[in-house]
Structure 1
């Protein structure tokens, strides 16, 4: 495909890309190895070896037609966001793209450490320490700050979509699965019901405009889960979950945060704020005392700079995508391409609910837009 300037659809999806989409056989250049890394309704991820170099990658096979509709543009949107973020070390790298009559194949760097969810629910000896969470949170925020400076929102930040370059020793993070991501501008409002219910912001449920603040709410939930192993808003059913989110019912009790610093709790409180305008931004979070105990002399830290982190980053860079392309049947999606069934659960549970119906039936103005 020839290079062209990016163009945006009315829903915030980038419709033109720079990457050349290859039509020659994928199998001529790559050999699939091992078992599937993950499978969803419209996508499957497999480990592969590039024949010319012997390097390991992850191949994400995505169907172009879903539920009878042509969803090629959804995949191009994901490619466009990966292109935009290629300069950031904390976003999964896109290597190549292939297309067949029925699929588009994204070849991405491959993660060795799996998803951070595994350690969120691990036993005490293997679970993250607060120091671990501080380090990983800085990296997540650095990646998200880069996206936000480029007017991109991820819209599905959760432990299953944050992968590690290595688990032992603890490596660096890679943000994956940009199937729901959108490009924002100062003119067009984007309103969609997207995401994983436990992590979505109140404005999603209320069908209000999406912004970079929408991601920041999810980071607040993500940090809560990483520190406590509990899902702050998950209820016995989806209506309770949505009510908890709408009312910002969060347990900050000492029992829940036993052994966790008050600064960490303050950090989460700065994000789990119902009014999006009052939530901390990614840049502000990077300057929060919890993550920045020795403030930099300059008020704004450069999110891409490794020197902005307290610890040196490892050189290994292995990561890959995760759940399949967006669908309103969220509970049918793979949380991450490295999810292992029966591996553990958050104390309040981990299953995503479906947005198959509006979250608050009493509010008829909430109209679900079907996402391919």
Structure 2
């Protein structure tokens, strides 16, 4: 039985609409805000103390540092009295389209290649913001269920959600402990080698491979859970184009790189992956430095224009990814823009 039910009041402005789902640690409700409309609320189920509640709200603290169009937005964090006692919660944007599981169900004969590539690029774009933190934030549980798909008008917008397992990496090794969902885990995670940005990249590659081919990578045909062991990674990996003739050689190359068994041979982080996907889509006619400077200049022009901060942020992110030499000059400003701060 849910801790809170339809009609229960959470705060003066927030009322439970309906239960969306639940897991071992939390319930997710759709809630109605008196002024802001529908939101999603994550309510923690099992806590023993107020201190533990504050620890669980660490996910909200992480989310509050990551402002990006492809990361679910955080609105509020607090505690609420339930029949089982005080419980922590936070509210975030409600995405009515559901997760990538729903997207796959909508295409029983296979997700169109252009949609699969767009999903991959947007996931990478969102994770890139986490990976560029100092030290990096690794998600550790990038799965179909934790990627939400919504639409701005007719344009698809993907949001990475559920940062409940996310963790700041060790500042020296840039590694975090192994957690997550087995079938999306990189080989080094399966063997308890720790989690890195490259391990998140593997998870993105697993999603992309599944969307493009309908198969999990390194699957023997018996299903990913039927024979899941490290030995499965010793099988040769078939390129996505072997299943899907719409996959071009460059896309084959990018996806296969994300699924290299040695993390040193993968894109080092999601920013590198996002840049490779952009390059495939829009090969720059100008030299990278010139094109990047033009993008940065346009971002600097737009950020003071009312309503254009989001677009300016996107352009600056693209400029830095295209030409990393701009990072030192513009990254502090970009971090402020992501939080909606204009200086």
TM-score by length of structure 2 reads 0.71
1:191 Cα deviation after fit: 5.1
Distance 1:182 1:135 in 2: 26
Contact 1:113 1:167 in 2 (8 A): no
2:200 — aligned with what? 215
2:234 — aligned with what? 247
Aligned mate of 2:275, from 264, 287, 305: 287
Contact 2:16 2:32 in 1 (8 A): yes
Structure 1 or 2: larger helix share?
Answer: 2
Contact 1:161 1:176 in 2 (8 A): yes
Aligned mate of 2:64, from 61, 83, 91: 83
Query: Residue 183 of structure 2: SS of its match in structure 1?
Result: helix
1:81 Cα deviation after fit: 1.2
Distance 2:263 2:25 in 1: 32
State which drifts further: 70-79 or 295-304.
Answer: 295-304
Matched, 1:228 2:213: yes
Matched, 1:148 2:131: yes
Matched, 1:103 2:87: yes
Distance 1:225 1:293 in 2: 20
Unaligned runs of 5+ in 1: 1-24, 310-372
1:161 Cα deviation after fit: 1.0
Higher relative contact order (CA 8 A, sep 6+): 1
Distance 2:118 2:279 in 1: 8
What per-residue deviation string (whole Å, max 9, x for no partner) do you get for residues 90-131 of structure 1? 111111112134311111110021112222243357x53222
State which drifts further: 166-175 or 153-162.
Answer: 166-175
1:209 Cα deviation after fit: 3.0
1:114 — aligned with what? 98
Contact 1:36 1:47 in 2 (8 A): yes
2:118 — aligned with what? 135
Q: Aligned residue pairs: how many?
A: 280
TM-score by length of structure 1 reads 0.66
1:267 — aligned with what? 254
Matched, 1:166 2:146: no
2:5 — aligned with what? none
Contact 2:139 2:167 in 1 (8 A): yes
Q: Say what the alpha-carbon RMSD is for the aligned residues.
A: 3.1
Contact 1:221 1:272 in 2 (8 A): yes
1:181 — aligned with what? 166
Query: Residue 44 of structure 2: SS of its match in structure 1?
Result: strand
Distance 1:162 1:214 in 2: 16
1:134 Cα deviation after fit: 2.3
Aligned pairs for 1:217-366 within 5 A: 217-234=202-219, 235-236=222-223, 238=225, 240-243=227-230, 246-247=233-234, 249-252=236-239, 254-281=241-268, 282-288=270-276, 292-296=280-284, 297-298=287-288, 304-305=313-314
